[in-house]
Amino acid sequence: MATLSTSSGPSKGITELAPLRGHVCLPGEPVLMAQPKAVLAIGGGLRLLAQPLSTTTTTAAGEEPKALTDVFLSEYCAPLRRSSHHLHAHIPRYTVPTPASRRYAPRASDPVLAVIARKVSQHCYYCYIGSSTLAYLDALAFDGATKVSRPRLMEGDVVYCYVKPRSASNYADGARCLAGSGAFDTSNEVEVSCMAAEVGLPPKDWTSGEAVFGPLRGGRTLQLPLSYVRRLLTPMENSPDHAQQRKRNRTEGEDGGGEVPASYLLHLLGSRVPFEVAVGLNGLVWVRGLSSETDTTAGVRRTVAVSSCISEAQYDATRAEMEARVEAYFPS
């Protein structure tokens, strides 16, 4: 079996059976082959072709048996894509984009925006996160929160949090993940939390103003397609290989024609106007423009302009399109 990791970038021992551009794969179509020792990352939309129970092929006497090549099939009607993982740029990551979905399927450690639906008790809230069931949030699930010092949340308040991974004991009690997807079984409740240490981030007291997760005050909340918010959270590729590719594209006259992550749009906006943004993988995005000492209405105007720019740019795919969009809202 090929080694499956959570990384990406071109590698040896991999054969792409479908073109990366101008070709739409059909469900069940073989799109990728990997040698047994090839290292690659397999994302959504791909599945491994079932192999015989024996992992080697029979050969003539005296010859060493050869391991079978792994073949991956497309699960959707969409193009094959290759990208670079933000941690291991030398390993390729292949995906077939899933069809646009209106409903969010909670996955462990996903950052989400939760809207308080109602207060169940003194120490628990039910939240809307766009899934088939409500999520619950413990009133003390904030860094530095105590029974005396904790956020007092009201119905309609927005909280930036994450889907809390379930422990092994919880799985034994019946909570489980959908096989192969990492998504929670929707028949069970989903818990969200704002304790940063549980997802490997430095904890900051919720009252310090430096906490990664917590209540979001003011601003505006947008409802955007799930596929678009995933692109907003895709890291920009700043590796040397990517820089060389951009230089090569400029030489060939192709600069601005290739697709870039939608996070490039946020980078452009941040260079033109001061604002805060929280992006949830459940399709909710919170935006707040920062105020100015000389203009009391600057915060509101920036909030409206940035929100509109992000909403309208969901179909922009290239650098040129995103730069033109930002220039139209915030001329240099």
Tell me the whole-structure pTM to 2 decimals. Answer: 0.64
- Collapse the DSSP code of 101 into the 3-class scheme (helix H, G, I; strand E, B; otherwise coil) and give the result: coil
Measure the CA–CA gap between 198 and 166, rounded to whole angstroms.
11
Relative to beta strand 214-216, strand 56-57 is unpaired
Domain 111-217, classified CATH 2.40.50.100, yes or no: no
- At 184 the pLDDT is 44
Domain locations along the chain: 3-95, 111-217, 226-329
By mean pLDDT, which of 23-37, 79-93, 106-120, 123-137 is the weakest? 79-93
- At 229 the pLDDT is 92
Q: Which two tokens stand for residue 133?
A: 């069931």
Q: Report long-range pairs for 271-278 (Cβ below 8 Å, ≥24 apart).
A: 272/326, 272/330, 272/332, 273/302, 273/305, 273/306, 273/330, 274/302, 275/302, 275/303, 275/306, 276/219, 277/306, 277/310, 278/111, 278/113, 278/160, 278/216
Measure the CA–CA gap between 116 and 128, rounded to whole angstroms.
6
| Segment 218-272, tens digit of pLDDT | 999 999 998 899 999 988 765 444 444 444 444 433 444 567 889 999 999 999 9
pLDDT at 35 over 80: yes
Comparing 153 with 20, the larger pLDDT belongs to: 153
Measure the CA–CA gap between 210 and 162, rounded to whole angstroms.
17
Measure the CA–CA gap between 181 and 324, rounded to whole angstroms.
37
Give domain 226-329's CATH number out of 3.40.50.2000, 3.30.70.3040, 3.30.1370.10, 3.40.1010.20: 3.30.1370.10
| Segment 53-94, tens digit of pLDDT | 444 545 555 555 566 788 999 988 888 888 876 567 788 888
